Amino acid sequence: MSGTITYREAVRAAIQEAMQNDERVFLMGEDVGRYGGSYAVSKGLLEQFGGERIIDTPLSESGFTGAGIGAALNGMRPIVEIMTVNFSLLALDQIVNTAATMRYMSGGQFNVPLVIRMATGGGNQLGSQHSHSMEGWYAHVPGLKILTPATVQDAYDMLHLALKDPDPVLIFEHALLYNSKGELDKQAVPIAIGKASVHRQGKDISIITYGISLFKSLEAAEILSKEGIEAEVIDLRSLRPLDDETIMASVSKTHRVLIVDEGWKSGSVSAEIMARINEQAFYELDAPMQRVCSIEVPFPYARHLEQAALPQVDKIVTAAQKLMEEL
């Protein structure tokens, strides 16, 4: 399935192909089978692969994540789907204390080739228990790789790359991206885990972002371009490891930095990036770094309040304009 497809279809195609090519791969999670997945990603896979490889689990994130870890330790290649990042907190002990530490604590004797997919982000009016962006929490943990595919191509490629990785990989799929469309080239060479991508070249300001905020940043860059401000837009793609090389190269080119992060400011991915730039490229800066993040509140249900809490194009444009005014 190449050509223009949805993000949802790209993830499904990647799962389908992985299962066809490797009998060790299976999918497990809440409603992944008969219902076809909470976001319809796994629709049709139960009929194709049967109940032993498309496994509907009880409502116990800790239980089925632990089962996935056990399967990975025994040579399988499980894909565990957690309905939303908020619910992954119920499996925090399994992910952080077991999956992430197994290789180290066993002296390299055991590894956990586990892939965990989950929806993240706000904008769907799903309230405070389904809408937060907590990928930055997991990016804090050594032993995990954290991927945030924004494009259709990355949604497809990153799952394949994650399944080849010997260690646990968490993939955060923004819930509003599933219906988005883009080009998929199955013959393209995938960009490696840990490498950022420059989606737009610019000379005046670096906009560093990931996930759905990539598209908001690109839209903001087009508006800024009409004002004579050429923004370089970087999609991090991976939050752990971070691609310091690409970030610092852009900073050295533009000398101004704006970070767009749907997480909260305090203890965020944006804070980590700012710290790294301060450590590695401070003297390249012509102005203090700025960031656009979500407002620090539990996410509201009311649409107008939810939209006000999220980073939006107008906020990115305003922040960039103010940054360009700095001497």
pLDDT of residue 69: 98
Taking residues 194-212, report their average pLDDT: 97
Report the pLDDT value the prediction gives residue 124, as an integer from 0 to 100. 82
Q: Contact at 8 Å (CB) between 168 and 143? A: yes
Q: Report whether pLDDT(1) > 60.
A: no
Q: So which residues are the catalytic ones?
A: 61, 130
Whether pLDDT at 11 is above 60: yes
Are 45 and 9 within 8 A, CB to CB? Answer: no
pTM of the full structure: 0.95
Q: How do beta strands 231-235 and 290-294 pair?
A: unpaired
3-state secondary structure of 281: helix
Domains of the chain: 3-184 (3.40.50.970), 197-325 (3.40.50.920)
Question: Which one, of 292, 237, 245, lies nearest residue 268 by Cα?
Answer: 292
51 class by beta-carbon count within 10 Å (0-12 exposed, 13-18 middle, 19+ buried):
exposed
Say what the pLDDT of residue 286 is.
96
- The mean pLDDT value of the chain amounts to 95
Is the pLDDT reported for residue 123 higher than 90?
A: no
Is the distance from CB of 320 to CB of 216 less than 8 angstroms?
Answer: no
pLDDT of residue 183: 95
pLDDT band at 78 (very low <50, low <70, confident <90, very high): very high
CA pair distance 205, 324, nearest whole angstrom: 8
Instruction: Report the amino acid identity of residue 224.
Output: L
Residues 173, 124 contacting (CB under 8 angstroms): no
Helix axes 7-21, 152-164, angle to 10 degrees: 30
The identity of residue 319, as a single letter, is A
Q: Would the CA dihedral through 76, 21, 44, 92 be positive or negative?
A: positive
Distance CA 174, CA 235 (A): 14
- Residue 125, pLDDT score: 82
Q: What is the mean pLDDT of residues 4-10?
A: 96
Contacts of 99 (CB under 8 A, 6+ apart): 65, 69, 72, 112, 114, 143, 144, 168
